[in-house]
A and B are shown apart, each in its own frame.
Chain A
Amino acid sequence: MNSLSIAQQAGALRSYFPDSRVTTTAAYALTWVASVTPKPLCDTYQLRLHYVLGHRPHIFVVEPKLVLAPGWTKLKHVWSTERQELCVYYPKWHEWHPGLYLVKTVVPWASEWLYHYEIWAGTGVWHGGGIEHDEEQGKK
């Protein structure tokens, strides 16, 4: 499938999130910063999405600082606990590819991730599905 252009991706992000900030670098990269509230009783999170054509998109929680569930030393399903970079799809299965709109994939996945993160932070069990590297990794 053909890749969507940076302009197409940026336009869709702006259309869905009129209050967000989208900056593009020439025709090859974009950065999107927006606030999401996954559920009415959830916290509000500032997300930053960084995407360079030809690379996977990176999505971070800018703030607040995420908490760890009791008994855990790392967040679940992240590229990095320290950078709060979420890992919302399984790269090997091409669940995301450059032909898909970020605002219809990575963004809702991140919102859903955040809801499950809050439930995980309370229960200590990840109920949001996904593929485990190692069940016990990150547990004290």
Chain B
Amino acid sequence: MLTREQEEQFQQIFEELGKSLDITEAQYNAAVKSYEHAGSWLGREESPLAPYRPEISPQGSFLLGTSIRPVHEDDDFDVDLVLRLNGKPYNWTQQSLKQAVGQELRKHGTFSRMLLPEGRRCWTLQHADDAHFHLDVLPAVSRAGFSQIKDKLMSVAEMEAAVDLVFGITDRTTSNYSTSTNSLDWPQSNPFGYAIWFEDRATVRARQLRSIMNAIKPVPAFQPQKTPLQRIVQIWKRHRDIIFNGDEDKPISIILTTLAAQAYRKETNILDGLVNGLNRFTEYIETRYDNRRNRMVKWIANPVNPAENFADKWPEHPEREEKFYKWLAQAKKDIANVTEQRGIHRIQQGLSASFGETAVNRAFSAIGGQALCERESGALRMAAGTGMLGVVGRTPVTQHNNFGADE
């Protein structure tokens, strides 16, 4: 059982851990600059896409504010983007749209060199320099009225309207990829609706800054302050990456994000949210009858489209389901182990094993730096009786210089 003071100290530790998983502001700004450059190119006057006012915006973790650094920090992180056209030529199929976007990218000297071979759903722009990220651009088409709904939702979040932010996307593996010209028959996606739902789940105070929706504004700004839910998602994603480094069957981010958000009860303390949430994850995994397979399957519903199952790969890949439950059990064990430790160095050791030494070391170095700053600013005090340091206490910790070198 933790005391309130111990919980508060864990809050500082997990907040710093979250910060140390964040991509840097410089990386963020470089990524935004790069995709906006691609967006202006694709929408320039001479582009055949121009009449449909293409808009490029982040989706997924970059939009949700839950991006994390790769475990090996020299590896790339990916920025998921939607290139959304407001309507399209009537005779265009998914294939026409995908190819038109590819052709425009190839006309640009830099982008043509960055372009990787065509992906299943996206075009990928790979930075050759030391930027350490790549852009996954998903071509999409929205229906008339989409922009008005989106603009309205920027100011007032209404979950009922969020479901209307759905649009058609391209996927080479669909049977009507080169035949259907009706974008309603294309695969559908609703990343902005999902983001509104996530932001609603994450909001602790009613008048909180609408930080997530700001990310689909023309020039999104780096957000150093994150909600507890954003930190929780970052922490679980990193734990997953450490446990299953490189394993293709690891639990996917959208599953961890959705379950964490469903299980979240507005805890302001990250550790509370981590522990309480894990115990509720399974409440949001339903068992539903699958018409296509004629049997019961595990179902993790997309909150803005309950007919979509984020666990739809589990029946064909039972090892993914197994690994999800393995991860869940490990997460419970690891978090319990960390909370039982006393001694900052032992807590650090426990966290390093679960979340990676580099990130955890950075977090504790920041905590050490903060403590020195507190004393130097005159804000650090010592309590009588226990000798405990904090902002309250009977005597201030005055200035001094540790010395001595065991000679």
8 Å CB contact of A67 from B341, B345, B398:
B345
8 Å CB contact of A111 from B361, B387, B405:
B387
Chain A residue with Cβ nearest B382: A108
In the complex, are the beta carbons of B364 and A119 less than 8 A apart? Answer: yes
Known: A39-B344, A95-B399, A108-B398. A86 touches B385 (CB 8 A): no
In the complex, are the beta carbons of A78 and B344 less than 8 A apart? Answer: no
Encoded as 1 (CB less than 8 Å from any A CB) or 0, chain B from 390 to 404 comes to 100011111111111
Q: At the interface, yes or no: B112 with Cβ under 8 Å from chain A?
A: no
B residues within 8 A CB of A52?
Answer: none
Q: At the interface, yes or no: B371 with Cβ under 8 Å from chain A?
A: yes
Chain B CB count within 10 A is highest, among A93, A105, A112, A116, for A112
Q: At the interface, yes or no: B342 with Cβ under 8 Å from chain A?
A: yes
Chain B residue with Cβ nearest A105: B398
Encoded as 1 (CB less than 8 Å from any B CB) or 0, chain A from 98 to 129 comes to 00000111011111110110111111011111
Interface residues of B, count at CB 8 A? 48
Chain B residue with Cβ nearest A130: B402
Q: At the interface, yes or no: A30 with Cβ under 8 Å from chain B?
A: no
Encoded as 1 (CB less than 8 Å from any A CB) or 0, chain B from 358 to 371 comes to 00010011011101
Q: How far is the CB of A38 from chain B (nearest CB, A)?
A: 5
In the complex, are the beta carbons of A115 and B371 less than 8 A apart? Answer: yes
Known: A43-B343, A116-B368. A87 touches B387 (CB 8 A): no
In the complex, are the beta carbons of B372 and A16 less than 8 A apart? Answer: no
Known: A16-B384, A16-B385, A123-B361. A130 touches B345 (CB 8 A): no
In the complex, are the beta carbons of B389 and A122 less than 8 A apart? Answer: no
In the complex, are the beta carbons of B344 and A119 less than 8 A apart? Answer: yes
In the complex, are the beta carbons of A38 and B406 less than 8 A apart? Answer: no
Task: Give A104 to B387 CA distance when docked, in angstroms.
Answer: 11
Q: At the interface, yes or no: A41 with Cβ under 8 Å from chain B?
A: yes
B residues within 8 A CB of A34?
Answer: 387
8 Å CB contact of B401 from A18, A42, A93, A125:
A93
Task: Give A92 to B388 CA distance when docked, in angstroms.
Answer: 28
B residues within 8 A CB of A38?
Answer: 387-389
Known: A87-B403, A112-B389. A129 touches B9 (CB 8 A): no
- For this complex, 6 residue pairs linking A to B, each with C-beta atoms less than 8 Å apart, are A16-B384, A105-B400, A112-B382, A116-B368, A122-B364, A123-B361
- Additional 8 contacts, C-beta under 8 A, given A116-B371, A122-B361: A42-B342, A67-B345, A74-B406, A89-B400, A90-B401, A104-B398, A118-B344, A118-B345
Chain A interface residues (CB < 8 Å from chain B): 15-19, 34-43, 47, 67, 74-81, 86-91, 93, 95-96, 103-105, 107-113, 115-116, 118-123, 125-134, 137-138
Chain B interface residues (CB < 8 Å from chain A): 3, 5-6, 8-10, 13, 341-345, 347-349, 361, 364-365, 367-369, 371-372, 375-376, 380, 382, 384-390, 394-407
